[in-house]
Homo-oligomer: A and B are copies of this chain.
Amino acid sequence: MSKIAVLGFGVVGSGVVEILGKHAGCIRLRQGDIPEVKYILDIRDFVGVNGNFIKEFSLIENDDEVSIVAETIGGIGAAYEFTKRAILSGKHVVTPNKELVAVHGAELLRLAKENGVKYLFEASVGGGIPIVRPMLRCLSANRITEISGIMNGTCNYILTRMENDSLGFDQALLEAQQKGYAEADPAADIEGKDTCRKICILASIALGKHVYPQNVQVTGIAGITLEVIKEARKKGYAVKLLGRVSCAESAVQASVEPYLVPRSHPFYMVSDVFNAVMVTGSATGEVMFFGRGAGKLPTASAVVADILECCEGDLPEENLFWTDSEGGRQPFGVPISVNKYTFDSGFELPILQTDQF
């Protein structure tokens, strides 16, 4: 039986423990045994919660019984350090940590390859929606020419509430916070940084080369007023924050910015906290993945799917992999769309092309 360690007992970490425990009956086993949680690392004290809580990472690092580490700490600091140490001590690492993958993915994937282990992050984009593995394994006979996505539930909830209930931006943000969708500090969401990290991860998979967040031009939704939303609606558009990457032979263009989505585009109906990612393959054309892009159990179930894949013993060289992009094609932050709509106020937004639907 595989033994695992969970780093961080927050929303997703506790969800992983819950799914492997209470919900174990739901896991469709191709393997035999359900992996056992041997350690939960957290600097906080949890009263009345069962679990083998520890505060020292070295216990995990030095325990040869632990073959898989689920990093659900988030951010760069401790998560980055523990991920490297886990990989160096021969353990697979799985994570929903989009920030760490977007910034240090190439290095961590290389380190994992060198140490014969896996570094998997299905949950880092779209929460419980399958995206990373389908792109890698189902679209493997395609050249990916474009990826677009509504990838931040908080922004989409705010824009939906503004459109449907005529709320101002601040009021809609406040409601998102009250409902627990937005963080107390919502900057990473509404400024587009979270979407940027996710499009960088998908772009890196598609290109096989790391696309770094600092190379993407990012515009958030703070400039979207109720007047803009209303005028857009009158013209038949919904306003959506899109992460996009276009992978032409000669150049890569990546951006995050609000778009006007026409009614005939499948993104038009993606409202509230739902996410959708559309991938264009040279053979399949457009395929879209849709669902709830966040939440405790959806995200945790994607982490557990990665844990189960680590249990299976695929050869590590068949992993998810991309190289560092030094000397490679560098993305530059030019918006992909050329058609723009000018609002009465003079404000401009690009219009998403929709010929294919």
Which A residues lie at the B interface, using CB under 8 A?
19, 23, 25-28, 30-31, 122, 127-130, 133-134, 137-143, 208, 266, 268-271, 274, 281-292, 295, 297-298, 300-302, 304-305, 308-309, 312-315, 317-319, 321, 357
Contacts and interface: CB of A to CB of B under 8 A. Distances in A.
A305 B140 contact: yes
**How many subunits of this chain does the assembly comprise?**
2
A289 B289 contact: yes
29 contacts: A19-B141, A23-B282, A26-B143, A28-B140, A28-B142, A30-B317, A30-B318, A30-B319, A127-B284, A128-B281, A128-B283, A128-B287, A129-B284, A130-B287, A140-B304, A141-B300, A141-B304, A266-B269, A269-B269, A281-B301, A283-B298, A283-B301, A285-B295, A286-B292, A287-B289, A287-B291, A287-B292, A312-B318, A314-B314
A314 B141 CA distance: 18
Nearest to A283: B301
Contact of A287 (B290, B305, B314, B318): B290
Given A26-B282, A283-B298, A130 B141 contact: no
B301 A284 contact: yes
Given A134-B130, A269-B269, A298-B285, A305 B26 contact: no
A30 B113 CA distance: 13
A291 B284 contact: yes
Nearest to A295: B285
A317 B266 CA distance: 38
A312 B312 contact: no
A284 B138 contact: no
Contact of A133 (B138, B288, B300): B138
Nearest to A270: B266
